[in-house]
Amino acid sequence: MLECADALVTTPMTHTRNDAVLPSDRLALAPGEGISRNELLRALPGAELQRLLPRLESVPLIDGMPIYEPNEPITQVYFPISGIVSMVSEMREGTVEVGTIGREGMTGLPLVLGARTMPTRAFVQVPGHAYRMSDDDLLDAMRESPRLERLLSRYALALFDQAAQHAACNRLHALEERCARWLLLTHDRVDGDVLALKQQVLAEMLGVHRPAVTIAAGALQKAGVIRYTRGKVTVLDRKALEETSCECYGIMRRRAKELIDVDG
């Protein structure tokens, strides 16, 4: 069952600059390796990306690693190339996910909008890799590059739209549809078809209790869409998962693509 120990996502080893698949069991990456896998960085012209490289440090995203805490100054931003960062709101009644960040974006958007803190907590939900930059370096880079500033501002809007869609989805759609939507977004952001997930994590992300997740994931497994066991979910039929999901998955992906296209 999902509530057992986490399983590592493993993928083939490779050492080219922009890997088609990056190994999650390798903690260090060569300088610039896989950098174009982040959609924001890939959207920059080659010359601008080259100017950013000295300011970027490749780092592993370790399961559970804190990215920023509520109302604390954000001193670093992360551009994931694999893995997922979750933003959650923690209240007395429980913890609910309000947004996720993968290879399509970056953490620390308050800096882009002239703020320094967030009321939410961000942490690594699915391990992977990222490129990290200091807050000062990011602000300097934005002053030097109007294109970068515009790109990040548009991504901020995409993340706001994602949060709004999450809220509507959680209110209106059935748990099985929401579970499929969340698994699709996760599948988009990792290497391969195996997702390292505990049942408790999935329950928190969907804002429900663990028994409800067991029922929803069990229905997907019975239909042959996924297989889950010992802290991992394997996507068996991507097309069927898309058909099971509510419309929110397609809305989120289309909107993000529109906004990250800086020439659009």
Q: Looking at residue 229, which CATH number applies to its domain?
A: 1.10.10.10
Give the CATH number of the domain where residue 60 resides. 2.60.120.10
- The Cα-based distances of 147 to 55, 160, 224, 237, 259 in angstroms read 17, 20, 45, 39, 13
Among residues 122, 147, 171, the one where a domain terminates is 171
The overall average pLDDT reported for the chain is 83
Local confidence band at 14 (pLDDT 50, 70, 90 cut-offs): very low
Same domain, 128 and 100: yes
Local confidence band at 27 (pLDDT 50, 70, 90 cut-offs): low
Question: Looking at residue 74, what DSSP letter applies?
Answer: P
Q: Is residue 56 part of a domain?
A: yes
Q: Is residue 131 part of a domain?
A: yes
Same domain, 117 and 41: yes
Residue range of the domain that includes 243: 174-250
Q: Is residue 255 part of a domain?
A: no
Same domain, 164 and 216: no
Phi, psi of 57 (to 5 degrees): -120, 130
- The Cα-based distances of 61 to 28, 179, 190, 238 in angstroms read 11, 24, 12, 25
What number is the average pLDDT over the span 193-212?
A: 78
Among residues 155, 171, 187, the one where a domain terminates is 171
Same domain, 211 and 131: no
Same domain, 98 and 214: no
Same domain, 46 and 57: yes
Question: Where does 119-145 have alpha helices with state H?
Answer: 135-144
Q: Is residue 121 part of a domain?
A: yes
Q: Is residue 159 part of a domain?
A: yes
Phi, psi of 33 (to 5 degrees): -65, 125
Round to whole Å and give the CA distance between 101 and 159: 8
Same domain, 182 and 70: no
Least confident interval from 4-13, 160-169, 195-204, 254-263:
4-13
Q: Is residue 14 part of a domain?
A: no
Local confidence band at 195 (pLDDT 50, 70, 90 cut-offs): confident
Same domain, 215 and 106: no
Q: Are 262 and 150 in contact (CB under 8 A)?
A: yes
Q: What is the pLDDT of residue 76?
A: 97
Same domain, 71 and 198: no
Same domain, 116 and 195: no
- The Cα-based distances of 246 to 42, 165, 173, 256 in angstroms read 29, 11, 7, 17
Round to whole Å and give the CA distance between 105 and 156: 9
Round to whole Å and give the CA distance between 55 and 48: 12
3-state DSSP call for residue 191? Answer: coil
Domain tally, the chain: 2
Q: 95-99, 149-153, 201-205: which has the highest mean pLDDT?
A: 149-153
Q: Are 43 and 153 in contact (CB under 8 A)?
A: no
Q: Is residue 53 part of a domain?
A: yes
